[in-house]
Amino acid sequence: MHNFMSYFVDFDFRINRFKEGFCLARLNIIILCLLVTVGCKPRNSYVPPPPTQVVIAHPINGIVTPVLEFTGNIQAIKSVQLLARVEGVLLQAFLKEGEKVKEGELLFQIQHDTYDAKLQQAQAKVIADKATLVYAGKELVRYTELLKQKAAPQTQVDNWQYQLDSARAKLISSEADVALAKLNVSYTRVTAPFEGVIGRRLKDPGSLVGGGEATVLSEVSQTDHVYANFSISEHDLLDFKEKYLTNKEHSHRVPKFPVYLGLSNEEGYPHQGFLDYAGISLDNGTGSLALRAIFANSDHNLIPGLFVRIKLMPSDSNSVPVSAILIPDDVVELDQEGNYVLIVDENNIVQRRSVKTGIHQGKMVAIQDGLSVSDWVVVNGVFGALPGNKINPTRDIINVDKSQLSSISNTPNPIP
């Protein structure tokens, strides 16, 4: 019996060992399959992005008219705030916000009952002071005659002379009070000081206005004509005066030279005006002189506050066209060393080339120094062209709208 039990325990032990070995073998097979599967996948490797396409082109040689270009801003020719100059409740607002108003048109009505009553008081006092003045004058005449007849003392004459002078002074003061009272009554009616466009209403009817301060009710601007303010540098100013102000026919300090203006969304300079103001001294901080031109604005497209492009050209007869090397103005970059462009040499190596810019015309800029028409200039893909790197560029030609220039004096170099 003992041997039988020992055999049974040993048999059970062998069975358990077999199961454990079988499970371990299955686990090893699964791990091996996973390793084989992972090993069969291709390895991840870095693939650099394709190089940025860089386009190069030759500058063009064109004929341009010397002009001066600036950035300015639009200002209304007249602009005033409408103030409540007397204290009271705002009774009515007659304006239509954003609409045209005529000179003298009633826009706001402030409570006027109190000021009407004060006017009547002042007028009544004038009547009383006039009566006192007349009475004092008659008494002075009467006592003067009695003094001649030695029927009245000198003190009576002196007293009525004093009464007469006092009455005259009181009358002047009361008449001034009437004038002030009428002025306050007129201030209760806020009218348009000139023909223009009214802004939004800043106070609603029922509001107390003018209490201790001048309350702004609205704003009126005259925009059928507008100003364009801009500044000219000392260098450009001296060059301009030398070329265009030597003629004796320009006797005025500010000759009415033509000025052209364009908005940011407009091609060229479709608006024409003339110069009408120049500052009397240069700004010490910027070294520039303030200038102003006036433009007709019947369609009200020139909104005060807009930034605009301005071109100053004295006249076609005074502006002599010159030959210039031209490239697109967005090709020129700026850093601490000044203006520069990127060029590509015969070995396709990118180089930085400092340039001196000149006249802007349309979307082109004249290069006074630093380039020739045989240079290859990077005109597209600047971020992919780093100085010192070799690239494989695409050669192209610069397309220019000939209407923006006086003429193109030669055909751009062909693509080799």
At 120 the pLDDT is 96
Q: What is the CATH number of the domain that holds 396?
A: 2.40.420.20
Q: Give the sign of the dihedral formed by CA 120, CA 121, CA 126, CA 131.
A: positive
Would you report the helix, strand and coil content of the chain in percent, each value rounded to 5?
A: 30, 35, 35
Ranges of the chain whose pLDDT falls below 50: 1-5, 7-9, 11, 13, 18, 248, 316-317, 403, 406-416
Same domain for 308 and 356?
no
For residues 110 and 169, state if they share a domain. yes
pLDDT of residue 185: 96
Rounded Cα–Cα distance for residues 49 and 57 (Å): 25
Quick check: 329 and 366 in contact, CB under 8 A? no
Whether 293 and 330 share a structural domain:
no
- Length of the chain as a residue count: 416
Give the residue numbers spanning the domain of 266.
68-75+222-312
**In sequence order, which residues have a C-beta less than 8 Å from that of residue 271 and are 6 or more positions away?**
260, 261, 262, 295, 302
pTM above 0.75, yes or no: no
- Whether residue 174 contacts residue 126, with contact meaning beta carbons closer than 8 Å, is answered with yes
Residues 374 and 285 in one domain: no
By DSSP bridging, strand 356-361 and strand 364-369 are antiparallel
Mind listing the pLDDT tens digit for each residue in 349-403?
A: 999 999 988 777 767 888 888 998 899 999 888 777 888 888 888 888 887 665 4
Could you give the number of structural domains in the chain? 4
Residue 241 lies in a domain: yes
Residues 114 and 210 in one domain: yes
Query: Looking at the structure, do residues 296 and 354 belong to the same domain, yes or no?
Result: no
Whole-angstrom distance, CA of residue 225 vs CA of residue 298: 7
Alpha helices for 188-266 (secondary structure H): 234-244
Residue 47 lies in a domain: no
Within this chain, do residues 185 and 161 fall inside the same structural domain, yes or no? yes
Q: For 315-359, how does the pLDDT look when each residue is reduced to its tens digit (9 = 90+)?
A: 544 556 778 889 988 889 888 888 899 999 988 899 999 998 877
